[in-house]
Amino acid sequence: MYYFNVFFVYSILGHILETFIYMMHSGESGILYGFWTPVYGIGCIIIIASYEILFAKHHLTKSLEALTVFLIGAVLLTVIEWIGGTLIEELFGFVFWDYSDLPLHIGHYIAWEMALVWGLCSLLLMFVIHPFLKKWIQKIPRWVTYIWIVLFLIDVGYTIYVKL
């Protein structure tokens, strides 16, 4: 249940972050109707699980650990962003975000500038945010998780029904 809760907490926090950012740029956050943006939950699960797997057995210096988290975050989150953008375009027929205006873009969905942002966000997640939220996430009752799962599945089903 822990990783389900990680998914939902960070999907909700990602939605809040994007909503705030898009309020300044008049866009919209996420493709679903609910108050979550799943790509953040997926990305955070991948970063957190990678960190826990890599550093559970290997004790590195903090600087090497930070460099590894940065690189893994930059690469994996950029790949997730590319996959997500491509899937949205293929399934729903529109480009949800477009980095073409950035100097170091690669197509619509990825840019080297954003890879740096994702690397920095990974550092912030693993060394500031997640240590603060981890104990709280672990205390979320199962019934809350089940409610989130049901609401999420309804939202996904509704989104597919309306947008396809």
pLDDT tens per residue across span 88-115: 888 877 777 778 887 877 877 888 888 9
Would you kindly state where each structural domain of the chain is located, as residue ranges?
2-144
Q: What is the reported pLDDT for 25?
A: 62
pLDDT above 90 for 43? yes
Q: Which two tokens stand for residue 17?
A: 């972050």
The three state secondary structure string of 2-64 is HHHHHHHHHHHHHHHHHHHHHHHHCCCCCCCCCCCCHHHHHHHHHHHHHHHHHHHHCCCCHHH
Query: Looking at per-residue confidence, does 52 or 130 come out higher?
Result: 130
pTM: 0.85
What is the predicted pLDDT for the residue at 125?
A: 97
Asked if 48 and 125 count as a contact pair (C-beta separation under 8 A), the reply is yes
Residues ≥6 apart with Cβ < 8 Å to 140: 1, 5, 9
Is 22 or 75 the better-scoring residue by pLDDT?
A: 75
Per-residue pLDDT band at 66 (split at 50, 70, 90)? very high
For the chain, the 3-state helix, strand and coil shares in percent, each to the nearest 5, are 75, 0, 20
